[in-house]
Structures are given as structure tokens and as C-alpha cells.
Amino acid sequence: MADTNKLTFLGIEGDPITAYAKNGMVLSFASLTTGVRADFKALIESIMDNFNSGWASEQPYGKSDPIRHFSSTQRTMQITWSCHAANEEEAADNMRRISALAQMQYPVYENRGYAGPTPPGTWNEVGAALKAMGSRNASNSQAQRRWCIAAPPLIAVKFANLIQSTVPSSDLPEGAYPDNGTVSKRLYGEQKIEGLICAFDSLQINPRIEVGFFEAPAGVLYPKAYDLSCMMTVLHQVSPNIHVDPLTGEFEKAFGDIYGVGFSNPDGFGRDILTDVLKKE
């Protein structure tokens, strides 16, 4: 008989929500630089997908309407979801995932203060050894740490077909960032980025105090439930609507298939590409 209290990667075994997540309903965040991930069962309450176009305005004399000069279109998203725990073990796991997501909000640093050869061991080990020998270099090794920002906190976000990459990596134009080799190194062997590359504007973590906590030894509290939300700006890997043939109207070859179900025909009627795919299989 299966252990219904066993904690799996996506939650408690036997929980209907866990089964739902195993079918792909997972809200996933992955650092584009370090590969650290935070996956949540998709208890999503709202998704706001905003497309904001920028126009410069010039008002000519004697005209009712201004002259508008197009600048760019920016896509932003806001996601609100909840996170629940059935027992203390799952509550601790949820807190670790949330901590990982919070850590992703900060840039990656590297030490650029030491110009000499890399000493054996970690900086703490070297400093401790020098201090034990009574050497003044112990303070010098500490002073040689010059932490500088090495990479910004860019995050790949994925949820089913509603939040996904708008172009397969195989179709990326030459010189596009990041290439397949970089993706494989940073995201633990994955050959392409499935999600959207985003710059987070904010992350809100709200433990539900009224629901209560699981109390662990040493005064550690694990909230039983959280409300979480984030706002982010999507960074396009390619510009949507390029590679469109205006003569034949082959829109399915265009970049920018936002939700992964293709485009409507020029005559205005929709076309279900999923049916076509199933027919080919």
C-alpha cells in the first residue's frame, strides 16, 4: 500500500493537487545564471498579461489629432498564487522553495579583488590557517575580497502554455542570447529555455498568519500557507512577428506564438494547430 504521507518532489503522495502537478501544472522559476530552481504546484489565482505600446506624440498646429510615432511594445506579467502544506515536512520544503525564489531576486557576485594565483582551499580555510600561524596576511586575505556584480538576476518563468518561450531554441537567429551551449551549462543539461526570460519588478511573500504554523524544534516556524505574487517584465529573445510572409499569410512561421496554439487565419477564423499535430502523429 502506498504511503500517502510520503513527500515527493511535487508534494505529498496521494494528494489530488500533487497529481494535478504531475500532469504538468507546475509554476516554475529558474535562475538564468546559476540554474537554481523553485517549482510550485500551480494553485494560481490570477495571471495578468499586459502588452503596453510606447508612442511619442507630436501635436501639429491646427490639427485635432497628434502625430504618433511608434517606439516599442513592452510585455509585463503579474502572477498571484498560493502555497499550502499538509504536514511539517511539506511546509519546510515550501519554505525552502520560497527562499530560493527570494534569493533569485539578487544579482550574482564574484570576487575580483585577488589578482594572484588561486590559493588552495576556500577563503575561510586560508584565512583560518594564516590566523593560526599568527600571520598578518590573515587580514590581508580578507581585504582581498572585492565582490562585484557578475550577472543580473534574470529568471526563466514557465507555466503550461500560458507562460512559455515564444520561439524554439532551434529557430533562434545566429548570435541570439543565450545559445544552446550556454543554456545546457546553466540549466543542468536542458537544451533550450522553455520559459520566458524575465526581469522581476517585485516579489511579495505573505504567510497566512491566521492559518497557523508548524512548530519545529529550536523555535523554527513553518507557515502552513502562503499567498505569493510577482510582477515582471518579459525580455524577448526575438521580436514577435518577424519571419512573416505577407504574400502567403503563413503566420504559423512567425515568432511570437504567445500561447503555443498558433495564429488565426487572415480571414479571421481560428485554426486549431493542436488537432493538426495529433493527426500527424
Nearest CA to 229 out of 58, 17, 44 is that of 44
pTM for the whole structure:
0.72
- HSE-up of 17 (CA within 13 Å, CB side)? 15
Q: CA 201 to CA 77: how far, in whole Å?
A: 10
CA distances from 144 to 108, 125, 149, 172 (A): 18, 15, 16, 41
What are the pLDDT digits (tens) for 32-51?
888 888 999 888 999 999 99
Cα dihedral angle (176, 233, 270, 263), rounded to 10 degrees? -10
Q: What are the pLDDT digits (tens) for 231-280?
A: 999 998 777 766 655 565 555 556 677 887 766 655 555 555 445 544 54
Domain range summary for the chain, segments of one domain joined by +: 1-52+75-107+152-164+190-234, 108-150
Residue 34 sits at φ, ψ, to 5 deg, of: -100, -20
What number is the average pLDDT over the span 46-62? 92
pLDDT, residue 2, reads 43
Please give the pLDDT value at position 268: 54
**What is the rounded average pLDDT of the residues 56-74?**
90
CA distance 83 to 21: 13
Residue 207: name the closest of 195, 222, 217 by CA. 222
- Distance CA(77)–CA(130), nearest Å, equals 51
Distance between CA atoms of 278 and 281, rounded to whole angstroms?
Answer: 5
Mean pLDDT rounded to a whole number for the chain: 76
The b/e string for 122-140 (b: 16+ C-beta within 10 A; e otherwise) is eeeebbebbeeeeeeebee
